[in-house]
Amino acid sequence: MSEGTPLGGGPLRIGTAERTAAMKALDAHLEAGRLGVEEYGDRSASAANATVASEIEALFTDLPAPHPVLPGTTPLPAVPPPTARMPVVPPSATVAQRGTAFLDVAAPRVMAVVPFVALVLFFTIGGWWWFLLIPAAGALLYGSHHNAETDRAGDRERDERRRERRERRGDR
């Protein structure tokens, strides 16, 4: 006797795990737009009340994968999803390095201290406006900070990507 066959030879009963798997598969079909809200509700109610595997199987006869794995059935191999083109990283790509300029080193340290300074000023002098130091310091330290070296590297990468696209299209 095989593992998934019941002793009496009748329909194979399912449990909570199988009903939950069916609900998750129906969720995926709803998100993909294969089921309308009303039909999803009907099928979900049927899945929640199912007691045998054949009742769950009947809910997925007209739907592609994903299907729930039920006892006594052999799951079909899943079709891998279509893949998009992955971005090509040129072999000369370098890892971005942390800057060594004063603001690159000092800004994170200053920002770590600013909330505490605002808190001390709030309790000693009073006034909620001291907490405005936090976003103001962030804007001053990071908002106008401009790293010319990083900009040049970004420009080179963008130009290289454009050149590669032109070569692939044959525009050159």
Instruction: Provide the b/e sequence for 39-63 (b: ≥16 CB within 10 Å).
Output: ebeebbeebeebebbebbbebbeeb
Helices (H), 35-101: 37-49, 53-59
- Tell the residue number behind the tokens 């406006």, with chain if given: 129
The answer to whether the CB of 71 falls within 8 A of the CB of 18 is: yes
Least confidently predicted of 5-14, 118-127, 145-154: 145-154
Q: What is the pLDDT of residue 162?
A: 86
- pTM over the 0.75 mark: no
**pLDDT, tens digit, 9 for 90 and up, residues 124-151:** 998 888 889 888 888 888 775 555 555 6
CA dihedral 118, 119, 120, 121 (to 10 degrees): 50
Q: What is the pLDDT of residue 125?
A: 92
Q: What is the pLDDT of residue 109?
A: 86
Mean pLDDT of 54-63: 90
